[in-house]
Amino acid sequence: MAETCDPDQKLGCYSNTGPWSGSDLPQSSTKIGTKFYLYTCKCNTSHTLDYNNPASISNSSFNGNIDTKIIIHGFSSSSSEVWVHKMKDAFLTKGCFNVILVDWRKGAESMGNDFFIYFQPVANTRVVGDQIAELVKALPTSKSRIHLIGHSLGAHVSSFASVRLNKAARISGLDPAGPKFVGLANAVKLDKTDADFVDIIHSDAGTFGTTEPSGHLDFWPNNGVDQPQCNLFDDAGPACDHSASHVYYTESINSDCNFVARPCSNYGKYKSGGCTNCFYKYCPVMGYRAIEFKKYYFYGYEKYTLFLTTNEESPYCAGNKPGKRWWN
């Protein structure tokens, strides 16, 4: 049994007992060094927010009467990544939002004392999630205006933030990290009880991404395991499948094309055209628009798997096509 208490008294103490048994203890918030960078439709330059410094909030262009999008990177990453800024810009193109980029790069690092590490960043997700919740509490807004978008370990960070807020409006989990989460209790990972609406894109299931359904609507583009634009023999890189989840999501924000999915019992049946009618309801759309289908998921979508195919190059949205082979 062990416990560590954070120097930031708002955060409190972390133990690795109960559902956390077998986990590392998180590093301190001082060591993780989480930063929050605000961008708004009024002011598209970075402004640093600090929940322990109220002036950083009151002196910003944050508007509590509009929705807030919080983007959270994953393992071995940072908010400086190009994809984070592309997503932020897509939101600011879409409409008038507060967009907050969370940077926890020091806590997400893959190297510790010259050795590859993963368990420590996994443990740190708890602290980063709690810090996001403390920031939201300090902002002049309501949790019903909070939408968390997390990639990889950032998806699990979103869960801890939302749970501490007693449920944010929405979490979009982009290929939630699998290793060290699959098979564990819902308390230690993203699941559909964590927010009012949880939508998931699975793009690298079984490698970096989880194999488990984790939301109200779980989308499995191209069966969720490997993506057609990713090839080990070209320069797309080993994380191409994993990254595809945020690539698709960002494209969906302003696209006129809908990533239409079909509920189906298995991918083979979907590909052969066996699942076209969506139970005579609206077919759910992956990505930004997924929340429009919130009220339909209980008609049975959640008992099925939501499949779609995508194009092999950008733009990836293939529209309404149930399966390329037979429909084209």
Please report, as ranges, the residues that interact with Ca ion according to CB under 5 A.
Answer: 159, 186, 191, 194, 204, 207, 226, 241
Looking at the Cβ atoms of 98 and 176, the one nearer to Ca ion is 176
Rounded to the nearest 10 degrees, what angle do helices 153-164 and 119-138 cross at?
40
User: What's the closest the beta carbon of residue 194 comes to Ca ion, in angstroms?
Assistant: 4
Looking at the Cβ atoms of 206 and 319, the one nearer to Ca ion is 206
Looking at the Cβ atoms of 92 and 129, the one nearer to Ca ion is 129
Of the candidates 128, 127, 146, 122, the one whose C-alpha atom is nearest the C-alpha of residue 136 is: 146
- The answer to whether residue 218 is catalytic is no
Phi, psi (deg, nearest 5) at residue 295: -75, -10
Choosing from 67, 103, 130, 175, the catalytic residue is 175
Which residue, judged by CB position, is nearest to Ca ion in the bound state?
241
- The answer to whether residue 202 is catalytic is no
User: What's the closest the beta carbon of residue 166 comes to Ca ion, in angstroms?
Assistant: 13
Cα 199 from Cα 162, distance rounded (Å): 14
Distance from chain centroid for Cα 301 = 20
Cβ atoms of residues 107 and 118 within 8 Å: no
Cα 161 from Cα 157, distance rounded (Å): 6
Looking at the Cβ atoms of 90 and 286, the one nearer to Ca ion is 286
Choosing from 23, 242, 243, 252, the catalytic residue is 242
Token look-up 């410094």 returns 53
The string over 85-122, giving b where at least 16 C-beta atoms fall within 10 Å of a residue's C-beta and e elsewhere, is eebbbbbbeeeebbbbbbbbbbbbbeeeeeeeebebbb
User: What's the closest the beta carbon of residue 209 comes to Ca ion, in angstroms?
Assistant: 8
- The answer to whether residue 156 is catalytic is no
Q: Is 92 helix (H, G, I), strand (E, B) or coil?
A: helix
Looking at the Cβ atoms of 188 and 275, the one nearer to Ca ion is 188
Q: Is 209 helix (H, G, I), strand (E, B) or coil?
A: strand
User: What's the closest the beta carbon of residue 214 comes to Ca ion, in angstroms?
Assistant: 9
User: What's the closest the beta carbon of residue 48 comes to Ca ion, in angstroms?
Assistant: 29
Alpha helices in 174-289, H assignment, sequence order:
240-254, 267-271
Residues marked active site are found at 152, 175, 242
